């Protein structure tokens, strides 16, 4: 890897499942044993942190806040590329309080030299971060989900800000409200995705741009396990405990799959990708410039 991945996580001390904004959320199950679930969530977050570190990443941890339990899913906080970050606008009232806190966090990263530029999506244009905007290093483009949480109008804002192609993918199922719940870009050029989450047009776009030989279809079981919602860098994949068949398929392609118990977070509709945000992702042009400057 040219750059050691730097991944943002949020301390889960204030995590709970207390409302429903997606079909996976189960506050009733959480409140059967809130203290026990919180202890389990803290242990699972620590296990994810360890798996990412052992895979070769550096993890930057920031605090959460009372009353904002979904801050533990910073993938939705912003889209980041080439040292530039554009902070989210959340569609659901329950998450809008996160915006100011994440904006402050990203401005602190800017002050520390971790980022060069920090802005926010225009008011009224909903866009929920890297959860709906996945960078494809092979094709040097973003795949961007819209139609559930993120607005179609956000696509042009993203393209203009980063000056890279943005490929729209309409999400048609409320169960897969962010692109990262049903779509994983792998370093070898493969796309793992769950077809029922997409329109026929979207499926055709994915196959057309990725090539059928690079498209891996996730099963119902894979999607329900939140295994598609995974972190990949190099040949390392960190994901919520995958079904055996999916793990074997990925290992056949040369990937090393690290399985983590993320059950408390799945009660809120999130997995490994949701719980992280890559802060030092670079396009090929920027990566080449960074390498030349370092020599």
Catalytic residues: 178, 274
Bridging pattern class, strands 215-217 and 191-193: parallel
Task: Please give the Cα distance from 231 to 187 (Å, whole number).
Answer: 11
Q: Is 12 helix (H, G, I), strand (E, B) or coil?
A: helix
Q: Which residues neighbour 80 within 8 Å (Cβ) at sequence distance 6 or greater?
A: 115, 130, 277, 278, 279, 281
Task: Please give the Cα distance from 164 to 136 (Å, whole number).
Answer: 11
Q: Which helix H or strand E contains 87, and what residues bound it?
A: strand 84-87
- Taking alpha carbons only, the member of 119, 27, 112, 137 closest to residue 62 is 112
- Taking alpha carbons only, the member of 211, 214, 256 closest to residue 233 is 256
Residue 237 bridge partners (DSSP) = 232, 257
Length of the chain measured in residues = 295
- Taking alpha carbons only, the member of 122, 124, 113 closest to residue 86 is 122
Task: Please give the Cα distance from 114 to 219 (Å, whole number).
Answer: 38
Residue 65 CA: distances (Å) to CA of 95, 201, 264, 270: 12, 40, 18, 18
Which residue is listed with tokens 């296990």? 47
Sign of the Cα pseudo-torsion (130, 230, 81, 276, in order): positive
């Amino acid at each position: 890897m040219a750059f050691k991945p730097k991944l943002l996580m949020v301390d889960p001390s204030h995590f709970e499942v207390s409302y429903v904004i997606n079909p996976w959320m189960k506050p009733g199950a959480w409140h059967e044993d809130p203290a026990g679930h919180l202890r389990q969530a803290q242990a699972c977050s620590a296990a994810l942190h360890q798996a990412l570190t052992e895979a070769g990443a550096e993890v930057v941890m920031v605090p959460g806040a009372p009353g904002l339990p979904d801050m533990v899913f910073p993938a939705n906080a912003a889209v980041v590329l080439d040292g530039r970050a554009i902070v989210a606008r959340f569609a659901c009232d329950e998450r809008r309080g996160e915006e100011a806190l994440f904006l402050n966090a990203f401005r602190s990263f800017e002050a520390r030299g971790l980022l060069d530029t920090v802005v926010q999506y225009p008011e009224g244009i909903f866009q929920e971060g890297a959860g709906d905007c996945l960078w494809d290093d092979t094709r040097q483009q973003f795949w961007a989900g819209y139609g559930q949480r993120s607005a179609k109008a956000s696509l042009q804002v993203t393209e203009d800000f980063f000056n890279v192609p943005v490929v729209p993918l309409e999400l048609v199922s409320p169960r897969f409200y962010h692109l990262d719940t049903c779509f994983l870009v792998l370093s070898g050029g493969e796309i793992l995705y769950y077809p029922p989450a997409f329109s026929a047009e979207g499926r055709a776009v994915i196959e057309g741009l990725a090539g059928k030989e690079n498209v891996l279809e996730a099963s119902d079981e894979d999607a329900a396990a939140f295994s598609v919602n995974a972190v990949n860098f190099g040949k390392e994949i960190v994901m919520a405990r995958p079904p055996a068949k999916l793990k074997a398929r990925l290992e056949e392609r040369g990937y090393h799959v690290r399985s983590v118990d993320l059950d408390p977070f799945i009660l809120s509709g999130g997995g490994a990708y949701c719980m992280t945000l890559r802060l030092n992702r670079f396009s090929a042009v920027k990566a080449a410039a960074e390498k030349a400057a370092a020599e």
